[in-house]
Structure 1
Amino acid sequence: MSGIIEDRLRDAMAARARTVRDDGPPPPLPGPRRLLWGRWTLPLAVAVVTVAVMAGIGVTVRGGESGRPPVLAPAIAPAPPFYVAAVVTSSTVKTKNVTRIDSIRGPLGVYDSRTGERTAWLPALADSRVAGLGDGRTFFMAGRERKGAPLRFHRITLTPDGEIGERVALPLPADLRTETLDVLAASPDGRKLAYSVSRPRAARMTEVRVADVVTGEVHRRRTAKFGLIYRMVWVGGDRTLVFSWQDDDRPFGQEAMLLDTSASGRDLLSARPVDGDTTFFAARPGGSSFVTREGGKNVQVPSLVEFSATTGRRVRAWVPQEWFTPVAFDASGRVLLGIVRGGAPARLDGRRVTRIKTPELPQGQDVRLETTW
């Protein structure tokens, strides 16, 4: 019986194959992907079902609204196989005049996205920062062998089992000064690293450096205005950076700025501001836009907003089903990764948030994961 069904489906597909055409990839986030309605929808469904029957794969078909043909459920791309995370424990310290929050970050480990199990430890470096390419296998790490030692950079490649397969020292000049390393970001092709350093407050100096990991050449952008950079990502290729900037004039919020690293000039704050109060961005590799979270503490579920890296203006906005902070796209640009309340890693498909497996964390403490892909 199954052979008869396969033959009929195959004949139907062959008879109508000339009407099936490829209109390219589905549109990007947000929202479910829908096929365009037209005279070729039914043959396309027949073709897909035929292939599924022949391969023994189950296909889920949703019933459409009255009078409409069914819509094939969109395929969900897998998340990167591994992520890097550190357990951060926070505590509130109260003194006579000041209340502050002290945070202690544990060692950086590699974790399996499917099971949440730790597969390896990254090298223990002081003042360490890590950045990934979104493939779950390639990470860059910066840090010092000990306090006061020069700043060094490494590329780390994981094995298929999530263990450290290769650790390569990059030919970047050793930084003998004692600046604080704040943020590290890797370009999508892995050729460039951008990182920010800051000097003690008295010096009132913040600097962004862009390093070519092949040639070792380093370009610097700095400002004499004291401030901090909390987040930095490459948009598209290895030319434009978007970073969040907070200074004394904006004590309760960050300003997002776009920096063309190929343009002449040395002043960091000559970068173009983004139209809106934005934080926590993620940029799709090869694209010309980035997604940010927008909304204050009193907003129950903050919006996600997509901005153009060319104009700095909004492209669109949507609200996920629950609180979600974007961190990165995967290397394909199909999976938006981030964290939910409490710091657990998750992925966003349209408006749906799905948690990614994590290790067991200590109970009864203010504990979260600091996650990197």
Structure 2
Amino acid sequence: MLTAAPDNRTFVLSGWTGPDSTLRFFRVHLAEDGSPSDPIPVPGLESDALGAGYILALSPDATRLAYAASIPGGAKISVVDLATGQRRDWSMRASVVTGLAWAPDGQRIALVVGGWGIGVLDLGLKGSDLLAATRLVKPSNDLPFLESVAYTPDGRALICSAGHAIMRIPIEGGEEPRVLARVTSPADASLTLRFSLDGTGRYLLYVHRWRGFRVDLANGSTTPMPIKTDEHPGEGDSPNAAW
């Protein structure tokens, strides 16, 4: 998995250091010319049994990482300080988290919970009960096939994917949710859509197989962007992409 900070220079990715190693998180920073730094392991997670399917989100100042995973009987969200490894966990029973996004103020996290909906976790509340600390913004029965979520730059609304529709949902009410774009995907594409929103809040990026697509949320248009590398398989799972 991969996530990017709003500066489009700092990234955290998951990976392995060898055939028998456990899954780890690494921080990478891009120089002005686009060259990446050496991956720096995120401290404090060496003994954590990280598994596949993690959802990652970097804080606006790129100092904290939020990640979600399945645990026996439920799901967990953790926030870890990238410098010290200090971590806080929240958990819930019988569900799965499919999307995470930091608020611009760094004090809240939006999350998509399967079978529940879209909510906002208040990091200032005490306790480790995830749903008790999360305010429901939109129930899932109103939005089928929920997947990714992101904050608008002003923090007043959430951008989410409900199936192949990209929607804007106000957090405090006052206006109705509205569809910003409807993505036309290939017949073999997933019913859900995992995306990454750029720092301006205007452009959305998603990937199908080895082709990226940029969606302009101002006019709903989609621009294909081939993913060019020295070598990649023509088939198989789509790569992860973020900005």
Shared fold per TM-score greater than 0.5: yes
Q: What is the letter of the counterpart of residue 356 of structure 1?
A: M
What is the one-letter code of the residue matched to 1:281? V
1:263 to 121, 125, 137: 125
Kept in 2: contact 1:186–1:194 (CA 8 A): yes
Instruction: Report whether the alignment pairs 1:158 with 2:26.
Output: no
Quote how far apart the aligned CAs of 1:266 are: 1.3
- Structure 1 letter corresponding to 2:214: R
Counterpart position of 1:87 = none
SS at match of 2:239: strand
Q: Measured at CA, do residues 319 and 213 of structure 1 come closer, stay the same or move farther in structure 2, by a change above 3 Å?
A: closer
Counterpart of 1:304, as a letter, is I
- Asked if 2 retains the 8 angstrom alpha-carbon contact of 1:288 and 1:309, the reply is yes
2:180 maps to 1:304:
no
* Structure 2 equivalent of residue 272 of structure 1: 135
Residue from 190, 210, 219 that aligns with 2:62: 190
Output one character per residue of 1:26-67: Cα deviation in whole Å (capped at 9) or x when no partner: xxxxxxxxxxxxxxxxxxxxxxxxxxxxxxxxxxxxxxxxxx
**What corresponds to 1:176 in structure 2?**
47
Structure with the greater alpha carbon radius of gyration: 1
- The equivalent residue for 1:352 is 221
For the Cα contact (< 8 Å) 2:168–2:178, is it kept in 1?
yes
Q: 1:196 to 1:334 in 2, by over 3 A?
A: closer
Which residue of structure 2 lines up, in the alignment, with residue 140 of structure 1? 12
AA matched with 1:294 = A
- Map of 1:60 onto structure 2: none
User: Does residue 232 of structure 2 align to residue 232 of structure 1?
Assistant: no
- Paired residue for 2:181? 320
> Which TM-score applies when normalising by structure 1?
0.52
Match of 1:207 in 2: 76
Deviation (angstroms), 1:304: 2.6
* RMSD of aligned alpha carbons: 3.1
How far 1:316 moved relative to its partner? 3.6
Q: Which letter maps to 2:240?
A: E
Contact 2:166 2:182 in 1 (8 A): no
Q: Match of 1:305, as an amino acid?
A: M
Which residue of 2 is the match for residue 219 of structure 1?
88
**1:153, 1:228 → 2: CA distance?**
20
Alignment partner, residue 339 of structure 1: 206
The answer as to 2:239 corresponding to 1:369 is yes
- Matching residue's letter, 1:273: L
Return the alpha-carbon distance in structure 2 between the equivalents of residues 167 and 367 of structure 1.
23
Partner residue of 2:2?
A: 130
The 8 Å contact of residues 235 and 290 in structure 1, kept in 2 or not, is answered as: no
- Please tell me the residue identity of whatever aligns with 2:99: R
Partner AA of 1:164 in structure 2 = P
Shift of 1:210: 0.9
Q: CA deviation at 1:163?
A: 2.7
**Once the two structures are superposed, what CA deviation does each residue of 1:190-237 show, in whole Å capped at 9, x if it has no partner?**
1211012333xxx314211111224432111012x1332222111223
How much does 1:155 deviate? 1.9
The whole-number CA distance in structure 2 between the counterparts of 1:145 and 1:160 is 27
SS of equivalent to 1:238: coil
Instruction: Say whether the 8 Å CA contact 1:335–1:347 is kept in structure 2.
Output: no
Give 1:267 shift: 0.7
The AA in structure 1 aligned to 2:70 is: S
1:185–1:232 contact (8 Å) kept in structure 2: yes
Distance 1:285 1:150, change over 3 A: farther
Q: How far apart are the structure 1 equivalents of 2:47 and 2:211?
A: 36
Aligned to 2:189: none
Shift of 1:130: 2.1
**Secondary structure of the equivalent of 1:227?**
coil
Query: Counterpart of 1:352 in structure 2: which amino acid?
Result: S
Would the alpha carbon gap of residues 330 and 212 (structure 1) be closer, same or farther in structure 2, given more than 3 Å must change?
same
